[in-house]
Structure 1
Amino acid sequence: MILPRRATAAGIVAGHAADAIFGDPRRGHPVACFGALAAALEERVWADSRGRGVGYAAACVGAAVGAGTALQAVTARHPLARFVTTAAVTWVVLGARGLAREGEVMAQLLESGRIDAARARLSHLCGRDATDLGSSELARAATESIAENTSDAVVAPLLWGGLAGIPGLLGYRALNTLDAMVGHRSPRYERFGWAAARADDIANLVPARLSAAAAVVSARLVGGSAAGALRAWRRDARKHPSPNAGQVEAAFAGALRVRLGGSNRYGDRVEHRGALGDGPAPGPQELRRAVRLSRLVGLAALALAASARYR
């Protein structure tokens, strides 16, 4: 008899494969539906209050974890149902194929000199103001986003799935979606979004560092430097304002032998970051290598998650 844990492990592998083959569902994406419901709830409960934000985050994430717990309980004695359900959930919470596609499209636009199109396309990867960015800055922004989102959209959901199964997959994706919605610093969300942002930081502490470690191990497979990745990770990660993004961005910078970091504009706010890595600014070719490195890091996370759940 196939044990439920092994069915879960097989489902995680199958869901990763489905994401690699099909990408995100084209219609009725469950994450988008969750975001719409969360936005509707926000309109009802918002207040300039940390306490109100704690309740909001707890309700949204709790609902996702509760749904995952129910699915896990219902399929506990049915390995095939557990496999199919886990595969479907893993597929919808992962973003590996979409992330790689955006990186490759950006590289194509930069190689062909279509700077205006590349500026418009950057919004698919991050919220940075691209109005005045040139080719090298666009490549840097895209490379940084590939690195950060490798951890957020690929490694972290896989690891939480390996740790907690379906509730881990759904709960993490709900939390990460809330952070994207209300976790940024602005007059509206400085207090209300505090809980979502801090909880997301905690949920990503281990995945970000495992992502950085996997980048070190995988660096040579993309023509990079494992020693450079380790050196930049240890030396430069703390220069980044995020306790997690800096880990993986620094490791990617060292692995690819490029320099990331600098000043970034988000609307009216300018964020100054220290330099990550020692090399020149990245170009389209380095961006393509970042995509390949992202895929390898994701495969390492998949192996870890599946083995953890298989036992």
Structure 2
Amino acid sequence: MIFALILLAAYGIDRMIGDPRNLPHPVIGMGKAITVVERIIRRFVSRPRSLRTAGILLPLTVAGGAWVLTSILLWLLSLVSPWLMWAAEAWLISTTIASKGLKDAGMAVYTELSKGDLPAARRAVGMIVGRDTTQLDSPEIVRGTVETVAENIVDAVTSPLFYALFGGAPLAMAYRAVNTLDSMVGYKNDKYRDLGWASARLDDVANLIPARITALLLVLCSRLLRYDWVRSLRTIRRDARLHPSPNSGYPESAVAGALGIRLGGENVYHGVSSFRAYMGDPTRPLEPEDIIRTSRMMLLCSSVFVGLCAAIAWIGFGG
């Protein structure tokens, strides 16, 4: 029962305050640790084959270190007071979740679009996507925002809660370390193709089950919100596997089908055009309100999932 309340408290903390800038955040520490380990590896290793082998050290060191340090911290706090340990665990798990930040980022784009300020909207969406945004029109800005919010339901909410359920704050922090590694070194470019392959692969594996659970929950949420849940399910079955990521296509196709919109298409990265497979059917043009609809689906999906996790913890599993 206590751990169920910890999960609910962690989600409540994130929904209420998100990630205040004046409080220390573990992800910042993870980023610094990744940079330090990368420098050490590159100082002693330069050959591609050796870098691929050394790349395994990144997730082992950073994610393993996050698990160990969090476990030690909670153990030390338990010696002082179990209440202090429970409060710390709730806060630590909350730092691995970003439902409020995800909603706020999407709404920042919507606000500028609703005012008709395209340059400001381009800057806002540029904060949350990796593609070039300087030439995007309103529908493309909406597409980038919807894709980001939908995709990050997994990374920012369901995956950390999934691992918190089965391993508490230590495993949730280890997952967040894996996800941070992927965002920093999991690129298929000349710099990280060899060093970052293990981190990228581990992130794919870690999100495999949560992504598919998320897709099913989004179908349920589309039914509750009176969107097209039948088309959402059909679109998942048809389009999810077309995405270059083994996981991102599931939430994106679920949202696209539910809203009757088409995601994917041409993106430009550093001046180079890249086509991403289409998700969904263009039954109508993309509009700024699709950002609000996607945020509603994200928040409802998050709430349903944390409720399920709490129920599982309550009856004695997980934790």
Q: Same fold (TM over 0.5)?
A: yes
**Among the aligned pairs, what percent are the same residue?**
35
Amino acid at match of 2:125: L
CA distance in 2, matches of 1:187, 1:151: 28
Structure 1, gaps ≥5 residues long = 1-5
CA distance in 2, matches of 1:74, 1:212: 38
Which residue, 255, 259, 278 being the options, matches 1:256? 259
CA distance in 1, matches of 2:310, 2:268: 39
Deviation, structure 1 residue 33 = 2.2
Amino acid at match of 2:292: R
Amino acid at match of 2:221: S
Moved more, 231-240 or 27-36: 27-36
Moved more, 287-296 or 67-76: 67-76
Which residue, 10, 15, 22 being the options, matches 1:20? 15
Whether the 8 Å contact between 2:142 and 2:288 is mirrored in structure 1 is: yes
The alignment's C-alpha RMSD in Å is: 1.6
Is 1:242 aligned with 2:245? yes
Aligned residue for 1:120, secondary structure, equals helix
- After TM superposition, the structure 1 = structure 2 runs for residues 96-115 of structure 1, keeping only pairs within 5 Å, are 96-115=99-118
State the partner residue of 1:282.
286
Deviations 1:150-189 (A, max 9, x none): 1111111011101111121110001101100001221101
Deviations 1:70-96 (A, max 9, x none): 245446685423320221112211111
Whether the 8 Å contact between 1:163 and 1:308 is mirrored in structure 2 is: no
State the partner residue of 1:3.
none
Q: How many residues align?
A: 306
CA distance in 1, matches of 2:288, 2:223: 19
Deviation, structure 1 residue 288 = 0.6
State the partner residue of 1:50.
52
CA distance in 2, matches of 1:263, 1:184: 19
Deviation, structure 1 residue 8 = 2.4
Amino acid at match of 1:9: A
Whether the 8 Å contact between 1:147 and 1:248 is mirrored in structure 2 is: yes
Whether the 8 Å contact between 1:7 and 1:79 is mirrored in structure 2 is: no
Whether the 8 Å contact between 2:132 and 2:271 is mirrored in structure 1 is: no
For normalisation by structure 2, the TM-score amounts to 0.91
Is 1:134 aligned with 2:130? no
Structure 2, gaps ≥5 residues long = none
Whether the 8 Å contact between 1:183 and 1:194 is mirrored in structure 2 is: yes
Is 1:29 aligned with 2:22? no
State the partner residue of 1:69.
71
Which residue, 2, 5, 9 being the options, matches 1:7? 2
Deviations 1:77-125 (A, max 9, x none): 8542332022111221111101001111111111211111111111322
Aligned residue for 2:273, secondary structure, equals strand
Aligned residue for 1:262, secondary structure, equals strand
Is 1:177 aligned with 2:180? yes
CA distance in 1, matches of 2:100, 2:138: 24
CA distance in 2, matches of 1:253, 1:219: 11
Deviation, structure 1 residue 134 = 0.8
Deviation, structure 1 residue 148 = 0.5
For normalisation by structure 1, the TM-score amounts to 0.93
Amino acid at match of 1:25: P
CA distance in 2, matches of 1:224, 1:131: 32
Whether the 8 Å contact between 1:119 and 1:138 is mirrored in structure 2 is: yes
